[in-house]
Amino acid sequence: MTIATIDQSSAATSRADATPREVRDWLAAGSCVLVDVREPDEHARERIAGATLVALSRFDPASLKVAPGQTLVLHCKSGRRSADAAARCGVLAASGVHVASMIGGIEAWKAAGLPVVAPAGVKGPAIGVMRQTQIAIGLMVLAGLAIGWFVHPAGYLASAFMGAGLVFAGLSGTCGLALLLEKMPWNAPPKKSCGCGGGSCRV
């Protein structure tokens, strides 16, 4: 198989996204660092070989190590979270690091017929941490409104608190509720049980 030559000084540096097949070629050539910004439970169920997990809920661009000449590629499930993470990498981009978001995320990667590592028997929560966070915030906002309307106006403070929390999460890139839910027993890192005594698992 012929690996495409990557010109980091021209075409690669002029774009802010990459297709799954481009990322596959860059990984094979060692010209990129692939970072998965999904949550740990998602990464445990299936991942792209060679990807490093740095969840968006605790994403810190300063912690990423990229060698000179390498492209930093971010990916998530569908491309939305990785685009968000890429937008936070202004300092890296200003220092000359090319930052790209993989179009369509791991779903597009699989649709392109590219392999993922999916350990047999590894199961995470039925609902991912980010969706749990959204559901919890929605319920608390509704509860605060209901209490404020039917019981006491102080209930509106709960809704206001959750709104302020969302603003803080958007500005800081850190969601305290997501970090808390991640530590709940039902979101504990899934145990590998592939029946091979710790040997090979399905790819």
Give the pLDDT score at 28.
96
Strands 17-18 and 71-75: unpaired
For the stretch 39-68, pLDDT in tens is 888 898 899 999 999 999 889 998 899 998
Regarding pTM above 0.75, the answer is: no
pLDDT < 70 positions in the chain = 1-15, 120-126, 173, 189-203
Give the pLDDT score at 179.
78
Both tokens of 27, joined, read 């990984």
Radius of gyration for the alpha carbons in the chain, expressed in angstroms and rounded: 20
Give the pLDDT score at 5.
39
The Cβ of residue 184 has, within 10 Å, a number of other Cβ atoms equal to 11
The residues carrying an active-site annotation are 76
The structural architecture, per CATH, of the domain 12-111 is 3-Layer(aba) Sandwich (3.40)
Domain definitions of the chain by residue range: 12-111, 119-203
66 backbone dihedrals φ, ψ, rounded to 5° = -125, 125
CA-CA distance, 24 to 4, in Å (whole number)? 10
Identify any residues that bridge with 75 across adjacent strands, giving them in sequence order: 36
CA-CA distance, 57 to 159, in Å (whole number)? 21
Token look-up 């958007």 returns: 170
